[in-house]
Structure 1
Amino acid sequence: MKKKTVILDNEEGLHARPAAKFVQKANKYESEIEIEFKGNIVNGKSIIGIMSLGAFPGEKISIIASGSDENKAVEELINFLKDGFKEI
């Protein structure tokens, strides 16, 4: 299992459009992807799950991956968030 924390610094946090982009990126990995926010953990490959977190800009979330490509998944997803959801 690999886990890393990041601060959301985009304008929308993890709501509709950013959540959809995150799920699209997360689905490229074989590992199970989860997002942790304020003690809640949701499936990182579920738009509804991600949106249910209500994570706004400036808040910290953790990306958790378990599986064969967990290290790559966490690092690339963190960079994806830091880069403002670019590169799909």
Structure 2
Amino acid sequence: MPERKVVVAASTGLHARPAKLFVQEAAKQDVAVQIRVGDGKPVPADSMLGVLSLGAKRGTEVTLSAEGPGADAALDALAALLERDLDAEEPASA
């Protein structure tokens, strides 16, 4: 099963807006992605409550995992998102 270890860059960690953006992007993927902190229990990356329950702050290393066709691309996209400070970016206009 492919995995990516990523350090959360958002200044508020995976809370509020960064968590919402991450969960929305995870829901768009063609494969189910899981996220965990350390050796903790993985949670679905497309679950807002699951992601918030991780308590991931800025600088926390998380592990993303997925299985199946497209897993590597999904993990790359989500890892790239977590590596950005989503709090510092302007929201996209609707």
What TM-score results when the alignment is normalised by the length of structure 1?
Answer: 0.89
SS at match of 1:40: coil
Q: 1:73 and 1:33 mapped to 2: Cα distance?
A: 8
Provide, for residues 28-64 of structure 1, a one-character-per-residue CA deviation record: whole Å limited to 9, x for no partner. 1111110011322101000000000101111100111
Structure whose alpha-carbon radius of gyration is higher: 2
Q: 2:66 and 2:85 mapped to 1: Cα distance?
A: 20
Provide, for residues 14-36 of structure 1, a one-character-per-residue CA deviation record: whole Å limited to 9, x for no partner. 11211110011111111111001
Q: What stretches of structure 2 of length at least 5 have no aligned partner?
A: none
Q: 1:45 and 1:20 mapped to 2: Cα distance?
A: 9
Asked if 1:44 is matched to 2:45, the reply is yes
Q: What stretches of structure 1 of length at least 5 have no aligned partner?
A: none
Instruction: Note the aligned Cα RMSD (angstroms).
Output: 1.7
Q: 2:52 and 2:62 mapped to 1: Cα distance?
A: 13
Q: Identify the residue that residue 35 of structure 1 maps to in structure 2.
A: 35
Q: Identify the residue that residue 6 of structure 1 maps to in structure 2.
A: 6
Q: Where is the strand percentage greater, Structure 1 or Structure 2?
A: 1
Q: Identify the residue that residue 63 of structure 1 maps to in structure 2.
A: 64
CA contact (8 A) 1:34 1:42 kept: yes
Q: Percent identity?
A: 33
Question: Where in structure 1 do 4 or more consecutive aligned residues deviate above 4 Å?
Answer: none
What TM-score results when the alignment is normalised by the length of structure 2?
Answer: 0.84
SS at match of 1:36: strand
